[in-house]
Chains A and B, each alone.
Chain A
Amino acid sequence: MILKHLRMCILVIVALATTTLKAQGASRQEVLDVEITISLKDVTLKQALQEIELVAKIKFVYSRSYLNLDDKVTIDVAGKKLGQLLEELLTPRSIKFAVHDSENFVVLTQAKMRSVIPIDEERTPVAIPAYAARISGKVTDVAGGSMAGVNVVEKGTTNGTSSDATGVYSLEVTDNAILIFSFIGFKSVEVSITGRTVIDVTMEEDQSVLDAVLVNAGYWKVNEREQTGSISRVTAEEIQRQPVGNPMAALIGRMPGVNVSQSSGMPGAPFTIQIRGRNSLRTDGNRPLYVVDGVPFPSNSVGVGYSVLANPSPLNSINPADIESIEILKDADATAIYGTRGANGVVLITTKKGGPGKTKLDLNFYTGIGKVGHFMDLLNTEQYLTMRREAHKNDGTPIAFSEYDLTEWDTTRYTDWQKVLIGGTSRVTSAQLSFSGGGENTHFQFGTGYYSEGSVFLGDFGDKKLSTHFSLSHQSPDKRFSILVQNSFVIDNNKLPLADLTARALMLPPVAPALYTEDGSINWQNGTWPMYSNPLIFDLLDYTINSENLISNVNLGYEIFRGLRVKANVGYNLLHSKDLNLAPIAANDPILGITTGYSDHTTGLTSTWIVEPQVEYVREIGRGTLTVLAGTTIQQTTRSAESIRADGYANDALLENLASAAQLFVLTSDFTDYRYNAVFGRVNYNLGGKYFFNVTGRRDGSSRFGPTKTFANFGAIGAAWIFSEQFFKNSSLLSFGKIRTSFGVTGNDQIADYGYLDSYSATVYPYQGKSGLVPTRLANPDYGWEKTLKAEAAMELGFFKDRLGLTAAYYRNESSNQLTGYNLPRITGFSSIQYNLPATLRNTGFELSIRSSNVQRGDITWTTSLNLTIPRNKLVSYPGIETSPNANQWEVGKPLTTSKKFHYVGVDTQTGLYQFEDLNGNGTGTDSPGDLVATGFVGQKYFGSITNSIQYRGLELNFMFQYVNQAGRKYSTVTTTFSTPGQMTNQPVQVLERWQQPGDDAAIQKFTMSSAASNAYLASSLSDNLVDNSSFVRLKNVSLSYGIPERFTKSWKVQSTRIFLQGQNLITFTDYIGMDPEPTIPNGLPPLRVLTAGVQVSI
C-alpha cells in the first residue's frame, strides 16, 4: 500500500515549461479553434468524447437519455481544430454542438429534435398534430449571453427543437401551446404563447441541480451527483443573506448533523460546533479541524487574555463576505484523508475566486441595529422588598447593617437594570467591495471590507474589522500549468467590557443606588454597592483585543503528461493578537485611597506553515475512470503567548506605556511547537457514471505523542451506486436515485502539546529575585491515538425531474481508546493526566434533508428546504467505571449529557426547603455518592431548520426557522447569577410561587437567608431539578431583497442593483424561562436580535 512507507520525503521536482499564453478575452470560437492531437481506436463515441474532454480541457454537456453514444469510432488527428473534429465526428450522427459561456462547456444536442422522448420509446407512433403557428425567439442567460442548445419543447407533446449557436430557435406549434425551455444546470422556463410569434426567454442558473454543483472535499473536488461521502455545504449566497460578523454564525441550523451554537451575544464570542455529536470524553476534544484555502486554521484562541471572552473565536478574523463556500466533511469517506484530525469533522472554508467574463465591481453595504431579544421578568421594587422582609420574618433574624438594601439605600427607587446595563442598541455596519474579472486563462478577485458591530452594554464597546482579500489564478493556454495565489488579511479591533454586564443586570436589586451622583460623577454610595462595584467602572476598565490574521496560500499544478498531474499546496497562516487590559485609578472607589493603576499586556502568536505536494493520475480503465491521488503533508504550528503585568502607574494616561510602569511582571510565557507529517492517498473509480468507489488512507505522525506512539494509520472506503441509471431510467416519478455507504477510521489528536514531557515551568513571580520552578504537569510518556470508527449509509433521491430532492443518512461513530485528561484526585498533585481510557463512546444519528421546488411558474418560484437531525450519544462501555474518577459522573449505557445527580422530590411542605430522596437511607438526600442517581434525558432530541425562498420577479424573500427539541439546564442553574431567593440579589418573578406556610405545596422554597436553605438551593442545582425543557423554534434569519429593474437603473450605468432587508434571531417561540434557551456561557449575553437594511450594486 502506498501509505506503508513514509520515506518518500525527498521529492524535488522541477518542471520547466515554455509555452504560449493568451492573455484575455477568449471567445467561443477560440474554444473551437484549439488544436488538438488525439489518437483513439475502436472506442465508443462516449469514450472518445471523454478523451477529448481531457485533451481539450472542455466539458461536454448532454443528456444521456437523448443521445446515442455507443457507436464505435476511430480517431487519429494531429493539430486539428476542435471544431473541425467535432464536426466530423458528430454531424454524421445528427448531433449538434455549441459552446456555452461558462466553464468551457460544449453542449451536445440532437440535430433534429424530432422527439424528446428517450430513444426506446421512439417506435411508438405519434400522431402528428396540425401546427398553427411558428414561434421563434432568442434564449439568453441572465448576463445577456446567448444560450445554445437549449431544448424547446411544446408542453404535452414530443414536438421540440433546440436553440442554435446564437441562441435563436424556431418551432411550429399548435394553438395555445405552452413552451418549455430547459437546459442542464438552468431552471426550466414555461411560457404560454398566447398569440405571440416571437418569444424571447431568459434562463437562470439552477444551483440545486445535482450535476451543476461541485463540492470541495479538501484534496479534491467532487460532483455532488458522484460523491461517495457525506459533505454539507453552505454557499456565499446563504452567508450573504445573514448580517453576521463571524462565518460560524451563518452556519447555525443550516446543515444536518452539524450543531452550531453561539456562546454569547458579545462580538467576537466563541462558537461551539459539534459535527455528529461528541466523540471525545474530553470536553475540549470535540472541535473540528478548520481548513481555510488549504491552510489549517486554529480552532481556539491564540492569546491568554483575561477578557470576558475567555476564548475569543479566532474565526472572527475571517470576513464572511470573502467566503465562497463552507463545506463540512462528516463521514469516514470524507474525513479519513485528514487522518488524526478528522474525527470531529472538517470545516473547509473556501474564499472567493474570480471567474471569466466581464470585469465586475460589486458593492454591498448594509447597516442596522442589534438588541437583546428577550429580557427576563424580574422582581420589581415592591416584590423585591416583600421577598427580603419575608426572609427576615422566616429566619427570625434582625436586619444586619451590611444589608444595605434595607438599611442604607432609598427603598423607593426602582431601576430596571436589564434596560440600563444591557438594553442598549448595537449598531451594525458592513461595507464590502469586490472587484473581479479575467480572461480565459487568468482570473482575479479583489475584495475589501469594513465591518463594525457595537454593543448593547452601558458604555462604549464594539468590534471593528477591516479586511482585504486577493485571489489570482492563471493557467497556461494548453491548460497544463496552473497557479492560484490567495491572500487574506483581516485586522480586528474588539473593545469589550471586562465582565459581561448581564450577570449584574439580573442580580442587582431594583433598589440599588443610582449610577451617577447629582453632579454627574460616579456614585460610589459610601462603598455599599453589593459585592461588585458600580457597573460604570466597566466603562473605565478598558479591555481591547487587537488581532491580525494573515492567510496566504499558493496552489500550483502541472500536467507532466496526459492524466498525470503534480500539484502542490503551500500555505501560511499568521494569527497575532494583542490584548490590552487597563485598570486605571479612576475605576476605584476613592474611599479606598488607591493611587496607582496597572495594565496587562498580552500577546499571542500562532503561525502555521504547510506544504502538501501531491500527484494525481487519471486514466480510463475498462469502462470506468480511475483517479489516483497521493501526497504528503508537512506542517508546523508554533504558538507563543506572553502576558506582562505593568503595575504602579501614578497617572491613568500612561497605562499603555510599559516604560512608565513602576514594576513589570511576566504573568505568562508560553511556547509550543507542534509538528505534523503525513502521507495520504486516494483511489477513486467511477464505473460508467453509475458505480463509484473511493478508498482513502493516511499515515500520520505527530509531535503531540511520545516517541513510541508517534505514528498511526487511518483510512476509509466509500461506495455509491446511482441505481436510477439502471432501474428507473424512464420513470417520470423518480428522476434520480443513489445509495452510498462508507466505513473507516479517523483519529483525534486534540490534546495539549508535550503531554509526555516531565518538565518544570517558571513561576509567575520570582522569589528572592530569582525565578522559581514548578512541575508543569503529570507526564505520561505512553499514550496513543484516540480513534473513531465511522460508518454511514445514505440514500439520495430526486423526484419529478429533481424538483423534489431528498437525502437521508444514518451514521454510527464509535470512539475508543479515549484520550482523556484522566481525572485524578488532587492528592496526586494535579487534576488530570493524558491517558488512554478504555472507554467507548457511540454517536448514532439520522439526518434528513429535503429540498423542493414547490412552484416554478413564470415569474414565481418558491422553494423549500428542510433538514432534520436526530442525534444519539451513548457511553457504550467503560470497564472499571465504578472505581474510576468518572464513577459518580457517568453511567454506562447513557448519554454523556446525562450525569448523576441528587434526586429532587419537591419542597418540604413543613420546612419549606427543597428536599431530595434519601436513596441510601442515612437521613439525608444529599450524600455523594450514596444519593446520586442518573438524571433523565439531557441534551438534544432533534434539531433542524426549514427554509423557504420565494421569488417573484425581482423580489426575493428568504426565511429560515430553526427548531431544537432539547432538555437543557434550568435558568436558575445555568448561571451563578441567582442565589437562594431571600438574599440580597434580584430574582425572576417565578420565585413568587414560593412556600409561605406549613402545608403549602410550592415549587420554590421559602424566602430565607439561612445556611440550611442555601445548602438546599445548592443541592437543587446539583439535582435532577436542574433539567428543564429548553426546546425552541426560532425565526433565525429573514432576508427580503428587491432587484431594481434594469429600466430604472440603466441610466446609472450599473449592471444590477438590489436593495435588501435582513434580520437575524427575530422571533423565538419557547417555554423556557431565562434570557435564551440556547446554552450560552454562564451569565452570558444571549445572541442579539439584529435587523439591517442595505444595498448591493454591481457595475
Chain B
Amino acid sequence: MKVKVFAIVVILLIVSLSSCREFLEIDTPKTQIVRHKVFENSEGARAAVFGILSQMSMGGFGGISSSVTVMGGLSSDEFLNHSTSQNNVTLYSNSLTPINNSVVTTNWNDMYLIVYEANSILEGCESSGGLSTNVRSQVVGEAKFIRAFSYFYLINLFGDVPLVTGTDYSINKSLSRAAVSDVYNQIEKDLKESQTLLLSDYSMSGDEKVEPNKWAATALLARAYLYQEKCADAESQSTLIINSNVFSLESNLNSVFLKNSKEAIWQLMPVSPGVNTNEGEIMIIASNPTRWSLSTSVSGGFEVNDKRSASWTGSFTISGKQYRYPFKYKVRLRNQPVTEYYMVLRFAEQYLIRAEARAMQNNLPGAVSDLNTIRTRAGLPLIDATGLTQTDVLGLVTKERRSELFAEFGHRWFDLKRSGTIDAVLGPLKADWQPKDALFPIPQAEITANPNIIQNP
C-alpha cells in the first residue's frame, strides 16, 4: 500500500544566535548578588551585617551544643559530662588533640568565617559610594566590633592566632600566628573605632538590643583591657557604661535573660525556627541526661540563700538520681512565644570587671562596693571591706564571677586561665590534666593546609 504524503516540511537546524559569546554570558543567579552591588545601597550593606548576626545566632556564639559556652563549661569545672560523643568526652577530659574534636574545629572555622565576612564588609563599604554617612558608620562600626569579638574568643581559646584583616586569600593562606598582644592591639583599635562610629542607643535596630552599639564596643573593650591587666583602662571603660544610665540590673533574676532586658547590652536574636534560645533547648534536662549537667562545684558553690541558685539552676530527678542544670534560659520547648534572646554582653559583668580592675589597683573599697551591688541583687549579705587584703578581694571577685557568670560564654574557663589557678583547680579534678591543656590545639586541617602554622605545645 502506498500513501502519498505531500510536503514534509522539516526545519533541520534552528540556530539563530547573533553571537555565541553572548549566549555563554550568564546572569548572576537569581539567588545571589554580586559583592559590589551589595554595598551599593543601605539595605544591602545592612543585610551583610544581618547575615553575620544570623550566622552567629545559629553558630558557636549562639548557645548551641557546640558553643563557646559548652566548650568552656566542659573544659573547666562547670559541667559534668553524660555524653559518649567523642567531642564531649575529649573536651571534658581535657584530652583534645588536633584531630579528635570537630567542635573545636568548627568553632575555629566559624570564627574565621566571621572575620572574613567582617573584612568583606569593611572592604565593600570602603569602595562603595552609595551609602549614607549614617549607614556607613553603623555598618563599618558593627563590622569592626564583630571582628574584634571573634578575635577575642580566638586568642582566649587558642592563644596566638593568625591576624587576618583583609579578604585576599593569596595573602591570608600563608599567614603565621600573631602574638596575643598584637591581636589585642587590633581588638582595641577596632573597638575604639566602633565606639566613635556606633550610636549610643538602639534606634538603628528598632530599640531591640540585637545589634551591637557603642556600649557593646565599650563593654567588650573593658573586658579586653581587664584580660590584659590594663586595669585603669578597664575601670574607665566599665565606668562609662555603669554611669551611662542606659542600663540597670534587673531586680528579678528571672527577668535578666528576657529579650531586651534592662541588663542587656547586646543580645543575639534567636533565628532558628520555633526556638526561643538554643541554650534553653539543650541545657534544660527533661529526661535521662544525654549531654551534661551542672557540676557540684557550681551548684554547691552558691552561698546559702543565694537567689541565683534558685532562679538560675534547675533540677531533674530520674530513677532516684538528681541532676542540676543551668536555668538562666527557661523556655525549652519549641513553638512557644519568643520571650528570650541570647545574652552576649550584660550589665552585671561590668560591675565585676570594675571590681576586679579596682582591686588590682588596690582600690579595695571601690571593688567591694561593686561586688556588693551584684550581691544585693542576689539576696546576699553585703561584704565589709574592712580588713580585707587585695588577695582576699580578688578571691571574692573570682567567686562572685563564678556564681554570676556560670555557663555563660566560657567565663569560668577564661578566669581560671587568667588567674593562673587553672592547674591547681583542675589538676585534682581531671585525671589527665596537663598545664598545656589550657590552650586548645589548632585544628590539624589548618596546619595541613598552611605549613606556616606551628601547633601549640
Contact = CB atoms under 8 A, between A and B. Distances in A.
B363 interface: no
A237 to B, nearest CB: 35
Given A772-B54, A825-B173, A1012-B95, A760 B29 contact: no
Interface stretch (A512-520, A672-680, A989-997): A672-680
A901 to B, nearest CB: 12
Contacts of B33: 759-761, 773
Contact of B25 (A23, A703, A764): A703
B1 A1012 contact: no
Interface in A609-624: 611, 613
A251 interface: no
A19 B48 CA distance: 67
B427 interface: no
| Most A CB within 10 A of own CB, among B6, B8, B83, B172 | B8
A775 interface: yes
Interface string A805-848: 00000000000000000011111111101000000000000000
A566 B14 CA distance: 12
Contacts of B16: 9-10, 12
Interface in B326-366: 332-335
B229 interface: no
A671 B14 contact: no
Interface stretch (B108-116, B233-241, B380-388): B108-116
A703 B26 contact: yes
Nearest to A823: B449
Given A768-B50, A928-B444, A929-B448, A568 B13 contact: yes
Contact of A778 (B6, B108, B169): B169
Interface stretch (A198-206, A410-418, A526-534): A526-534
A671 B24 contact: no
A18 interface: yes
B409 to A, nearest CB: 20
A830 B446 CA distance: 11
Contacts of B113: 826, 829-830
B1 A774 contact: no
B210 A673 contact: no
A11 B8 contact: no
Given A774-B52, A828-B172, A766 B273 contact: no
Given A23-B2, A778-B169, A613 B50 contact: no
A757 B115 CA distance: 20
Contacts of B161: 827
Contact of A558 (B10, B44, B319, B446): B10
A9 B52 CA distance: 46
B189 interface: no
B8 A17 contact: yes
A21 B12 contact: no
Interface string A1009-1032: 001101100110010000000000
A4 interface: no
Given A591-B286, A596-B274, A773-B47, A828 B5 contact: no
B50 A770 contact: yes
B64 to A, nearest CB: 13
A14 B10 contact: yes
B13 A11 contact: yes
A707 B6 CA distance: 49
Contacts of B5: 19-21
Interface in B1-42: 1-21, 23-35, 38
B32 A9 contact: no
- What is the interface residue range for chain A against chain B? 35 or more
Contacts of B93: 1011
Contact of A775 (B11, B116, B172, B273): B116
A531 B84 contact: yes
A670 interface: yes
A483 B32 CA distance: 42
Given A594-B334, A672-B29, A759-B33, A6 B450 contact: no
Given A20-B4, A526-B287, A926 B97 contact: yes
Nearest to B453: A825
Interface residues of B, number: 113
B379 interface: no
Nearest to A24: B1
Given A774-B117, A828-B169, A402 B47 contact: no
B54 A568 contact: no
Contact of B55 (A528, A589, A763): A763
A375 B154 CA distance: 47
Contacts of A753: 26, 29
Given A648-B334, A677-B24, A757-B34, A1014 B89 contact: yes
B120 interface: yes
Contact of A19 (B8, B82, B205, B273): B8
A1045 B432 CA distance: 80
A531 B82 CA distance: 10
Contacts of A483: 10
B46 A592 contact: no
A558 B24 contact: no
A710 interface: yes
Nearest to B318: A526
A728 interface: no
B32, B57, B289, B332 pick with most chain A CB within 10 angstroms: B32
Centre residue among B15, B84, B89, B174 by max chain A CB count within 10 A: B15
A89 B168 CA distance: 80
A227 B13 CA distance: 29
A1099 to B, nearest CB: 25
A615 to B, nearest CB: 9
Contact of A634 (B17, B28, B98, B173): B17
B17 to A, nearest CB: 5
Interface string B286-297: 111110000000
Interface in A501-555: 526-528, 530-531
A672 B452 CA distance: 37
Contacts of A18: 6-8
A672 B286 CA distance: 45
B54 A23 contact: no
B208 to A, nearest CB: 7
B236 to A, nearest CB: 32
A567 interface: yes
B52 A16 contact: no
A182 interface: no
Contacts of B89: 1011, 1014
A645 interface: yes
B68 to A, nearest CB: 17
A889 interface: yes
A608 interface: no
Given A17-B8, A710-B24, A775-B116, A765 B273 contact: yes
A592 B287 contact: yes
B419 interface: no
Contact of A928 (B21, B208, B334, B448): B448
25 contacts: A11-B15, A16-B9, A20-B4, A22-B1, A568-B13, A598-B273, A632-B15, A663-B274, A671-B29, A674-B26, A757-B28, A767-B210, A771-B50, A772-B50, A773-B33, A773-B51, A826-B446, A826-B449, A829-B117, A829-B119, A833-B169, A888-B447, A927-B455, A1012-B432, A1014-B95
Interface of A: 6-7, 9-25, 401-402, 404, 408, 476, 481, 483, 526-528, 530-531, 556, 558, 566-568, 589, 591-596, 598, 611, 613, 632, 634, 645, 647-648, 662-663, 665, 669-677, 701-703, 707, 710, 753-754, 757-768, 770-776, 778, 823-831, 833, 882-883, 885, 887-889, 926-929, 979, 983-984, 1011-1012, 1014-1015, 1018-1019, 1022
The 3 closest A-B pairs by CB, nearest first: A829-B116, A772-B51, A527-B287
Given A558-B12, A773-B48, 19 more contacts: A9-B15, A483-B10, A531-B85, A589-B287, A594-B334, A613-B14, A663-B273, A669-B31, A753-B26, A754-B28, A763-B54, A768-B208, A771-B50, A773-B44, A775-B117, A926-B97, A928-B99, A929-B447, A1011-B89
